[in-house]
């Protein structure tokens, strides 16, 4: 399906320069002289990079149908990650290279969102906040406060995050998966 710049909406997915992009924001501009144009900010779905483009008014693009599917993460056998549809109980495996960096936030039985563009799997998004147990960190000392420095901690999934000095081994932490930031101790 083909759409023009007049059909632009925030969040719409288009194909531009053979890349799948999401429109973050756009602005129609009618200068005093010359033809109208549209300024846009597009996010490349695969790389996450945001780029600004300007298009002449009326330019046509291919629209891409996106679909999200919620699944439950089951386990990892080293080469593949296994997920289950919670309604049909159908299982599927996804290669580790497709899961990529998101694997460090996946804990067994957590729900994740799979993003498809047409029928192709584009990305795997864990929940925004996950609760993970600290498996290794330096011990805290008396007098360490919330306002003090930070130290590295290894979580049960193998992820490394910076935590306040008062966090100890075996504590359960809430982590923001978007940037790997410590939120609170649970």
Q: What is the pLDDT of residue 111?
A: 92
Q: What is the mean pLDDT of residues 66-77?
A: 89
| Contact by Cβ (8 Å): 20, 64 | yes
Domains 66-126 and 129-185 share a fold: yes
**Which CATH topology does 2-63 take?**
SH3 type barrels. (2.30.30)
pLDDT digits (tens, 9 = 90+) for 5-47: 888 888 888 888 888 888 889 999 998 888 899 999 998 877 7
Q: What is the pLDDT of residue 82?
A: 92
Per the prediction, the chain carries an average pLDDT of 86
Asked whether residue 63 carries a pLDDT value surpassing 90, the answer given is no
Query: Considering the domain 129-185, what is its CATH architecture?
Result: Beta Barrel (2.40)
| pTM for this entry | 0.69
Q: Where in the chain are the domains?
A: 2-63, 66-126, 129-185
List the structure tokens of 10: 């925030």
Angstrom distances, CA of residue 118 to CA of 16, 45, 76, 92, 170: 15, 13, 26, 18, 43
Distance CA(14)–CA(116), nearest Å, equals: 13
pLDDT digits (tens, 9 = 90+) for 111-154: 999 888 877 787 788 888 999 999 998 886 665 555 667 888 99
List the structure tokens of 46: 């695969």
List the structure tokens of 117: 């563009």
- If one looks up domain 66-126 in CATH, what number appears? 2.40.50.140
> In this prediction, what percent of the chain has a pLDDT beyond 90?
18
């Amino acid at each position: 399906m083909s759409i023009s710049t007049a059909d632009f909406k925030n969040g719409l997915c288009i194909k531009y320069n053979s890349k799948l992009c999401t429109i973050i924001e756009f602005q129609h501009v009618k200068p005093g002289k010359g033809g109208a144009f549209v300024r846009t900010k597009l996010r490349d779905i695969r790389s996450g990079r945001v780029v600004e483009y300007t298009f002449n008014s009326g330019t046509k693009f291919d629209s891409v149908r996106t679909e999200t599917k919620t699944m439950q993460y089951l386990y990892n056998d080293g080469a593949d990650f296994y997920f289950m549809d919670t309604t049909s109980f159908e299982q599927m495996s996804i290669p580790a290279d497709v899961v990529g960096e998101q694997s460090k936030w996946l804990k067994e039985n957590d729900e994740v969102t799979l993003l498809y563009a047409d029928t192709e799997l584009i990305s795997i998004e864990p929940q925004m906040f996950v609760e993970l147990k600290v498996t290794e960190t330096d011990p805290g000392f008396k007098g360490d406060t919330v306002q003090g420095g930070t130290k590295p901690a290894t979580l049960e999934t193998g992820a490394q995050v910076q935590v306040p000095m008062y966090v100890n081994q075996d504590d359960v932490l809430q982590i923001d998966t978007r940037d790997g930031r410590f939120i609170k101790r649970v």
